[in-house]
C-alpha cells in the first residue's frame, strides 16, 4: 500500500521507540542525533518517486527530547517511504561532526529499506544529487507465525551449513521459481533435510550496499556480492526479496524462517557490526555519519576526521559506546523476537572488543550485553574471533557462552591432510575438542565451531586442486585474498584430466570432511562442498555475483557419489553421541562405561607415536556415550604408503566397516544395514586414507 499525496497532519510524537512505528492514530517517527540542531522528515509515495509528497520540518521545541527527534504523522498509511535530513555543525576534524542538511539519510532503525535511485558512484563523483538516497519504508503488516518459535536444539547436536542466500539458488540450474531470494531458498529445504544439517548460517542478509566496491571493480561490472557492507541493520536485504518495492521484506524473510523451522532447521545470521557501508572519510554519508558520526565510529584522537580502521573496510563501529551497544543489542533482540532467528555469527567480532580509541578491552560491554541478554539466552552466538588489524582471540574471546570459528582447527587439519609432518599430537587435540584453547577458561568443546573451509577462502575442491590463489577475475591484480591457503593440488595446478590425480583429490576431500565430522565440537560445512563445487582457484569471490560465486546444481548428478558420502558421514556422526560430547576427551572412564572415553593408538594398539616427528598415522577408540551406541574406532593414515593397523579385540564386540576414504563409491561409506563384519585383527589402511569401524554387541 502506498501513500496518497497528503499533506498529513503533524503532531509532536514521542522519542520512544526509535524508527517508524504504526499506531492507531498514525505513524510515530523517532531518530537519535545528539548534536543536530534541526531535522526534516521527507515522505515519498515509493522507492523511486522523483519528489517527496510532503516535507516536515521538526520544531526543536516540540519535536526534540534529549537526544531524539520525533514526530507523529496522522493517518499515514503503511508503504510510505521516507528519509531524514539532519542539520547541525560541520566540524569533522575537531569534533567529528559531519552534519549536512542537503543529504537524505536512512533511518538506522528502519524495518525495511529500498535502494531506489541510489547511485554510490555518481554520489562520489558528482556530489549529492536531489533525493538520491536509499529510502526506508513504513511497515505494519500482520504476520501469522502459526505457532512457530525459534528452535531449541541442544548445542552439541548442531551441524552448521554456511550458505549465501543469493548464490544458493541464483544459478539457472537451481530450477526454483524465485532464484536468488529467501523464497527460492524455501524450495531447496528438502535438499537440506536430506543432507542432514541442523542449521543454516546465512551470509549477510541485512540490507547492504551492493555498490560498495573499489572503482576498478565496479567499472568492470562486478559488485559487492557477499554483503559485508551493511547499512540497514533491521531490514532484510531488498535484493533477496521478490517484491521489495511492495515492502514485503519481513514477510518473505519470515516465510523462509517458518518453513525452515517446520523442517527442523535453525537459522543463524552472519551479522556485520564491526563496520558499515559508509567507509572512511572519502566514503558517502548514508546513515550514521549524518546522525552522529562522532558517536557511531571510532575516530582518531588528534584528528577526528580520520577513521580508525581495524576492519579493512574504511571504518570501525564504536561498538562499546553506550548508545551503540544499545543499538546493536536492540537489533539482535529484534531478529530473535520478531523474526525468530536462532542465532548469530559475528563478522570480525574482535573489532567489537575495542574501545573508542581502538584499544582491546578486557570486558567489552557490548559482548557481555549480548552474552547476558535474556532475549538471546537460547540463541547461538558465534564469534569470528579476530579482526583485520591483528587482534586474534581464538580461545580467549571475552565471555563464556560465545562459540568461536576455530581458525586453528582449520589450519591444523589442512596441514595434516596435505601431508605436513609432526602434527599428530596437535591432530589429537583438535579431534578432542581443542582443550588447549578452551579448557583453561572453563569453556567446552561446544565453544569450538570446527571447519576446514568457509566462504572466505578456497572451496573444498579448490583446496585439494590449487597450491595458490587465482583471483585476477576480481580486478585487483591478484592482491586480494589470503596467500596462506595451506592447500595441496595433488601434483598439478588446477583442472586436469589425469584420473590418478582426480582420484587423489576426491580422497583428500573425503579425508578433510571425515576428520571434521569425527571431531568434538560443532562442525560447519560450506555450501557446495558436498558437491565438490569449484571457484576455479579464486579464494575471495566477494564481488563475483555470477556463476563463479554461485552453486551449480548440475553437480548434483556429476558428483552424486560425493553427496552420498557426505550424507552418510553426517548420519554416522548423528548415531554416535560419543562424537558429540559436552566435555573434552581425556582418556578418563566414560560415564556409564568401564572404558576410557578415548584410547589413542598408532599402527599398534595403545602405541601412538606422539614423539615421532615423521609420524603421519593415528588411531583412536571412542567408548559409547549413549545406551544404544556401540564403540567407534578410526584409523588415520596420511602417509604415502598403505599400513596394517591393529584393531582392538573385545570379546563382547564385533567390528563392522563403516567408512573407508580409500575406496570408491559405494563402498567408501556404508549404512549400518549394509555393513560387512571385519573378521581380521589387522586391517589395511591405504595411503592418505581414513578407515572407520563401528562396534556392535557380539
Instruction: Tell me phi and psi for residue 253, to 5 degrees.
Output: -65, -45
Which runs of E-coded beta strand occur in 209-336?
A: 230-236, 266-271
Distance of alpha carbon 350 from alpha carbon 364, whole angstroms:
10
Max CA pair span of the chain: 89
The three-state secondary structure class of 28 is strand
Examine the residue annotation and report whether 497 is marked as an active-site residue of this protein.
Answer: no
The three-state secondary structure class of 691 is strand
Distance of alpha carbon 71 from alpha carbon 87, whole angstroms:
16
- The torsion defined by the Cα of 527, 530, 535 and 539, in degrees rounded to 10, comes to 70
User: Residues 252, 241: contact at Cβ < 8 Å?
Assistant: yes
User: Residues 430, 519: contact at Cβ < 8 Å?
Assistant: yes
Which member of 104, 252, 294, 347 is catalytic? 347
Task: State the DSSP H helix or E strand holding residue 114, giving kind and residue range, or none if neither.
Answer: strand 113-114
The owner of cell 583442472 is 495
CA nearest neighbour of 427 among 442, 417, 437, 441: 417
User: Residues 294, 97: contact at Cβ < 8 Å?
Assistant: yes
Dig out the grid coordinates for 222 from the structure.
562486478
Which member of 132, 384, 387, 404 is catalytic? 384
User: Residues 258, 269: contact at Cβ < 8 Å?
Assistant: no
Burial profile 64-99: b = 16 or more Cβ within 10 angstroms, e = fewer: beeebbbbbbeebbbbbbbbbbbbbeeebeeebbbb
Distance of alpha carbon 206 from alpha carbon 227, whole angstroms:
8
Distance of alpha carbon 417 from alpha carbon 423, whole angstroms:
10
Dig out the grid coordinates for 573 from the structure.
556422526
Distance of alpha carbon 625 from alpha carbon 132, whole angstroms:
61
Quote the Cα angle for 155-159-160, to 5°.
105
Examine the residue annotation and report whether 347 is marked as an active-site residue of this protein.
Answer: yes
| CA 586 distance to own-chain centroid | 31
User: Residues 453, 521: contact at Cβ < 8 Å?
Assistant: no
Which positions are annotated as active-site residues? 347, 384
Amino acid at each position: 500500500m502506498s501513500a496518497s499525496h497528503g499533506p498529513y497532519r503533524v503532531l509532536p510524537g514521542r522519542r520512544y521507540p526509535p524508527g517508524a512505528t504504526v499506531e492507531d492514530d498514525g505513524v510515530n517517527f523517532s531518530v537519535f542525533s545528539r548534536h543536530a540542531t534541526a531535522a526534516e522528515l521527507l515522505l515519498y509515495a515509493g522507492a523511486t518517486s522523483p519528489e517527496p509528497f510532503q516535507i516536515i520540518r521538526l520544531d526543536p521545541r516540540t519535536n526534540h527530547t534529549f537526544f531524539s527527534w520525533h514526530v507523529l504523522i496522522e493517518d499515514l498509511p503503511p508503504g510510505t517511504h521516507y528519509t531524514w535530513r539532519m542539520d547541525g555543525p560541520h566540524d569533522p576534524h575537531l569534533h567529528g561532526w559531519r552534519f549536512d542538511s542537503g543529504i537524505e539519510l536512512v533511518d538506522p532503525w528502519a524495518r525495511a529499506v529500498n535502494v531506489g535511485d541510489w547511485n554510490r558512484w555518481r554520489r562520489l563523483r558528482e556530489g549529492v544529487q536531489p533525493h538520491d538516497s536509499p529510502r526506508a519504508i513504513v511497515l505494519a503488516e500482520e504476520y501469522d507465525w502459526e505457532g512457530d518459535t525459534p528452535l531449541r536444539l541442544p548445542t552439541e547436536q548442531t551441524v552448521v551449513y554456511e550458505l549465501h542466500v543469493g548464490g544458493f539458488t541464483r544459478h539457472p540450474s537451481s530450477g526454483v521459481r524465485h532464484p536468488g531470494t529467501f523464497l527460492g531458498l524455501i524450495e531447496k529445504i528438502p535438499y537440506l533435510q536430506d543432507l542432514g544439517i541442523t542449521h543454516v548460517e546465512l551470509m549477510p542478509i541485512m540490507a547492504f550496499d551492493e555498490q560498495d566496491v573499489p572503482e576498478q571493480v565496479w567499472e568492470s561490472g562486478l559488485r559487492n556480492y557477499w554483503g559485508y557492507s551493511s547499512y540497514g541493520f533491521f531490514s532484510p536485504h531488498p535484493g533477496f526479496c521478490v517484491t521489495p518495492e511492495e515492502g514485503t521484506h519481513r514477510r518473505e524473510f519470515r516465510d523462509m524462517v517458518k518453513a525452515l523451522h517446520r523442517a527442523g532447521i535453525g537459522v543463524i545470521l552472519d551479522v556485520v557490526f564491526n563496520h558499515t557501508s559508509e567507509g572512511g572519510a572519502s566514503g558517502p554519508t548514508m546513515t550514521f555519519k549524518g546522525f552522529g558520526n562522532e558517536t557511531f565510529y571510532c575516530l582518531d584522537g588528534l584528528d577526528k576526521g580520520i577513521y580508525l580502521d581495524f576492519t579493512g573496510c574504511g571504518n570501525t563501529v564504536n561498538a562499546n559506546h553506550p548508545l551503540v551497544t544499545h543499538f546493536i543489542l536492540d537489533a539482535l533482540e529484534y531478529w530473535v523476537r520478531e523474526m525468530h532467528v536462532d542465532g548469530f555469527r559475528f563478522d570480525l567480532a574482535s573489532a567489537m572488543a575495542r574501545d573508542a580509541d581502538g584499544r582491546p578491552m578486557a570486558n567489552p560491554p557490548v559482548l557481555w550485553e549480548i552474552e547476558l541478554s535474556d532475549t538471546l539466552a537460547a540463541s547461538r552466538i558465534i564469534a569470528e574471533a579476530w579482526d583485520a588489524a591483528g587482534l586474534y582471540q581464538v580461545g580467549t574471546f571475552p565471555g563464556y557462552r560465545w562459540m568461536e570459528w576455530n581458525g586453528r582447527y582449520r589450519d591444523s587439519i589442512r596441514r595434516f591432510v596435505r601431508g605436513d609432518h609432526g602434527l599428530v599430537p596437535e591432530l589429537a587435540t583438535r579431534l578432542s575438542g581443542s582443550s588447549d584453547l578452551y579448557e583453561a577458561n572453563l569453556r567446552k568443546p561446544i565453544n569450538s565451531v570446527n571447519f576446514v573451509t568457509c566462504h572466505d577462502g578456497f572451496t573444498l575442491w579448490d583446496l585439494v586442486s590449487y597450491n595458490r590463489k587465482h583471483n585476477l577475475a576480481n580486478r585487483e591484480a591478484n592482491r586480494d585474498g589470503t596467500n596462506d591457503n595451506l592447500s595441496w593440488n595433488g601434483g598439478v595446478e588446477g583442472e586436469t584430466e589425469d584420473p590418478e590425480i582426480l582420484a587423489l583429490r576426491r580422497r583428500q576431500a573425503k579425508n578433510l570432511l571425515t576428520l571434521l565430522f569425527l571431531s568434538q565440537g560443532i562442525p560447519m560445512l560450506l555450501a557446495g562442498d558436498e558437491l565438490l563445487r569449484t571457484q576455479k582457484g579464486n579464494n575471495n569471490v566477494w564481488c563475483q555475483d555470477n556463476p563463479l560465486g554461485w552453486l551449480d546444481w548440475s553437480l548434483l548428478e556429476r558428483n552424486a557419489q560425493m553427496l552420498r558420502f557426505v550424507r552418510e558421514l553426517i548420519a554416522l556422526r548423528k548415531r554416535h553421541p560419543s562424537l558429540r560430547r559436552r566435555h573434552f576427551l581425556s582418556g578418563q572412564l566414560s560415564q556409564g562405561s568401564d572404558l576410557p572415553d578415548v584410547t589413542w593408538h598408532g599402527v599398534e594398539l595403545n602405541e601412538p607415536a606422539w614423539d615421532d616427528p615423521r609420524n603421519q598415522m593415528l588411531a583412536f577408540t571412542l567408548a559409547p556415550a549413549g545406551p544404544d551406541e556401540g564403540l567407534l574406532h578410526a584409523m588415520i593414515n596420511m602417509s604415502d604408503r598403505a599400513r596394517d593397523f591393529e584393531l582392538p579385540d573385545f570379546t563382547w564386540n564385533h567390528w563392522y566397516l563403516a567408512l573407508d576414504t580409500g575406496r570408491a563409491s559405494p563402498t567408501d561409506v556404508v549404512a549400518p544395514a549394509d555393513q560387512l563384519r571385519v573378521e581380521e585383527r589387522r586391517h589395511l589402511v591405504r595411503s592418505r586414507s581414513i578407515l572407520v569401524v563401528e562396534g556392535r554387541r557380539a
